[in-house]
A and B are shown apart, each in its own frame.
Chain A
Amino acid sequence: MSSAANYLTHAGMHGEIATLAKVTDLGTLTASIAHEVNQPLSGIVTNAGTCLRMLAANPPNVEGARAAARLAVRDGNRASEVITRLRALFTNQYADAEAVDLNEAAREAIATFWSTLQRNRVILRLKLADGLPLVMGDHVQFEQVILNLIRNACDAMSSVEDHPRMLVIRTEQDSEGSVRLSVQDAGTGFDPQAADRLFEKFYTTKIGGMGIGLAVSRSIIERHHGRLWATLNEGPGATFSFSIPAASESLMHATSIRELTAPPVAEAAWRNL
């Protein structure tokens, strides 16, 4: 069963672990965390080894040993940050449900990521609809999802040199009365055969620091009775979109506030340093 199907059947489940992953996906999550922590650990082991070799030289290379030790400390902090952020991402606290303007959420996400966008020479085009209906939910979580999409778009364009690194963020109301937000990039696109794998990532540690991955984004959107999907553009790159029912309709769908809001993310967990 593809993970896409998994999410559809398990959206709305309660419980600390189950809210974010089907039980068998725990294996994937664990492997994912292990891989992430192994990177700074590897740095520490290598740096400590280098430090010892420097000290064993004749005469001892104290400056070299000091540099290695400094790097090891930095790697240790990185590992600790990964754990802290992961813990914050997956702790089961509940956020408020309120009426959210996705245009505002988009602007917030962009403001957070602005310097990274500039540094990566991304050209931003905003096409935010006027009079966009509000949606019910947690504005922090919506911002996180949008940030995830923007971060991925930026990453997809990081090797683009022969055309502008255009990032288009669009909001509109679609035919079913839902509010849709899409993030279109001009990057390397994705392999349609491997589309499922895209949505398996629980967090990303690429450009602009650490943040939630598409698996969590999809979970958040589905908990808001919406859906998140990806399509390839006619030109270069891909477009990631999500749609959420407009506020009045979703109040009819929600059986409780608990069902509507998903496990949290402390702001500090995803602001990049």
Chain B
Amino acid sequence: MIARRSPVTPVHAGKPSPPLPVVYVVDDDVSVRESLELMIRCEGWQPEIFGTAGEFLARPRARVPNCLVLDVGLPDLNGLELQKHVAERTDMPIIFITGHGDVPMTVQAMKAGAVEFLIKPFRHEVLLRALRHAMDRSQAALGHEAEMQVFRERYASLTPRECEVLKLVVSGLLNKQVGWELGISEITVKAHRGSMMRKMKADSLADLVRMAGKLGLNPASKA
């Protein structure tokens, strides 16, 4: 039985350990599945192993950084097809593995955003590097999504008037120009602007512009 602690992850005594990042593996060969499971566990991640695409797709999405090691030639669903199915899961980068060396397939997989495309038998350190890279990408994507969620909540807390003021302000108008646009006085504009900036937790106009951009509210992105 392998030790519960990985040799490369430090353990903090007394603290509950955070959930481990997850590596999904989908491959129809038992040698590949079991060797990857051991490797992943020893690196301090949580392996989740499947023999078919169907079993994997039935699992709920992970809330932690995660990635997928996927064999191209699965019995029930071609790996590239599966890639399309999970395309919107930007938090789950894909590393392809295959027993065949197929150049067109490699190009297709990489163009569709795969992290790596490895041919069996692949070198241990090459896969490890790809896994770490994939986890970084996952972390970044999750962070981005979490940030977006915060921005959306702030925006949703604005009154309709405050929304209007926000859009006009980020388009570069001065307060009095905003007033002309909306048919209200400059003083009223300033009041709305103040509460809007507070609710959006914007430190500056630049900060507000950045948030508005991420929310798709900038004039350039208006329909």
Q: Tell whether A64 pairs with B76 under 8 Å between CB atoms, given A35-B99, A47-B35.
A: no
Q: Assess the A39–B120 pair: CB atoms within 8 A.
A: yes
Scoring B residues 1 to 43 as 1 if CB is less than 8 Å from chain A, else 0, what string do you get? 1110011100000000000000000001101101110110011
CA distance A14 to B6 in the complex (A): 58
Interface pair B32/A53, CB less than 8 Å apart: no
Contact B2 A46 (CB under 8 A): no
Check B122 against A45 for contact (C-beta < 8 Å). Answer: yes
Residues of B near A49 (CB, < 8 A) are 39, 123-125, 128
Contacts A31-B100, A50-B42, A159-B76 given; does A38 touch B120 at CB 8 Å: yes
A188 touches B99 (CB 8 A): no
Quick check: is A61 within 8 A (CB to CB) of the other chain? yes
Chain B residues with CB below 8 A from A58, complex form: 7
Tell me if B52 counts as interface (CB < 8 A to partner A): yes
B54 at the interface (CB under 8 A from A): yes
CA–CA, A249 to B135, complex, Å?
67
Asked if residues A41 and B3 are in contact (CB atoms below 8 Å), the reply is no
Would A46 and B99 be within 8 Å (CB), given that A63-B3, A75-B31, A75-B35 are in contact?
no
Which of A41, A50, A59, A188 meets B121, CB within 8 Å? A41
Which residues of B lie under 8 Å from residue A78 when comparing CB positions? 31
B81 to A: closest C-beta gap in Å: 13
**Cβ-closest chain A residue relative to B37:** A71
| Interface pairs (24), CB distance under 8 Å | A38-B99, A40-B29, A42-B35, A42-B97, A42-B99, A43-B29, A43-B31, A43-B32, A46-B127, A47-B38, A50-B35, A50-B124, A58-B7, A61-B3, A63-B1, A64-B2, A67-B1, A68-B42, A71-B31, A71-B35, A74-B31, A75-B35, A206-B28, A206-B75
Q: 13 more A-B contacts (CB under 8 A) besides A46-B122, A49-B125?
A: A46-B32, A46-B36, A46-B38, A46-B39, A53-B7, A58-B7, A59-B7, A61-B2, A61-B3, A71-B31, A71-B38, A74-B31, A155-B75
